[in-house]
């Protein structure tokens, strides 16, 4: 009995040690601009997934409707929209913006080959990093063509391995990466999808957090 108890204690201590080693300690938080999307007014106008659904007055929607990737303070869209109706839209990205009763969130939905990214450039010293993207999927459980959540340089991308996000659920999507030298790159948010809006994930990002860690 004593031997069994001793073995159980040793095994338990081993599990605790492994768990402790897998929990990174934070060295410092990297400050990002508008990381919680609190800057700027949320969009309240309808955003279309197809620009040909917008009102056609020849020069744009005049606020009656919006299409595609809208401007977000501190972040750069890879395909910013001019909100003008153009009939050839099969490969254009689409984005939805939303807000709950208390806070702004960044919302996005990609359809029919869209590959959308919002990026923010940062310069980081050598070290280990943890990026956390707080995501809510409002609807749609289709498989992503590509996940763009992560950090990218000119030579390499460190992105989420998730191919789906469960509907009606908050997910802390966590991405770890290591930089051997001081590096300038982009924190990026988005995804690619190749089907219609019925199955496309409707993602709402509440906040983005970047930490330098001691692994």
List pLDDT tens digits, range 107-118: 999 999 999 999
Predicted pLDDT of residue 50 = 75
What does the pLDDT look like over 66-88, one tens digit per residue? 888 999 999 999 999 878 776 54
Beta bridge partners of 99: 104
| Strands ordered across the beta sheet of 191-193 | 114-115, 191-193, 146-147
Predicted pLDDT of residue 19 = 44
Q: Residue 123: is its pLDDT beyond 80?
A: yes
Predicted pLDDT of residue 102 = 53
Predicted pLDDT of residue 140 = 94
Helices (H) and strands (E) in the chain, counts: 1, 16
Query: What is the value of pTM for the model shown?
Result: 0.80
56 pLDDT band, cuts 50/70/90, is: low
Instruction: Give the separation between CA 54 and CA 65, rounded to whole angstroms.
Output: 6
């Amino acid at each position: 009995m004593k031997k069994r108890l001793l073995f159980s204690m040793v095994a338990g201590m081993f599990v605790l040690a492994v768990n402790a080693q897998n929990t990174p300690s934070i060295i410092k938080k990297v400050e990002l601009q508008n990381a919680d999307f609190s800057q700027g007014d949320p969009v309240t106008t309808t955003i279309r997934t197809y620009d040909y659904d917008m009102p056609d007055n020849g020069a744009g929607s005049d606020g009656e409707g919006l299409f595609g990737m809208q401007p977000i303070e501190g972040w750069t869209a890879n395909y910013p929209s001019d909100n003008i109706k153009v009939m050839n839209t099969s490969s254009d990205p689409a984005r939805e913006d939303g807000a709950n009763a208390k806070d702004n969130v960044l919302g996005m939905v990609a359809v029919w080959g869209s590959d959308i990214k919002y990026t923010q450039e940062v310069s980081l010293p050598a070290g280990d990093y943890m990026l956390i993207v707080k995501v809510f999927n409002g609807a749609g459980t289709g498989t992503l063509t590509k996940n763009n959540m992560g950090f990218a340089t000119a030579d390499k991308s460190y992105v989420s391995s998730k191919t789906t996000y469960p509907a009606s659920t908050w997910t802390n999507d966590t991405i770890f990466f290591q930089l051997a030298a001081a590096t300038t790159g982009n924190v990026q948010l988005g995804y690619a999808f190749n089907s219609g809006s019925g199955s496309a994930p409707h993602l709402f990002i509440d906040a983005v957090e970047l930490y330098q860690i001691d692994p």
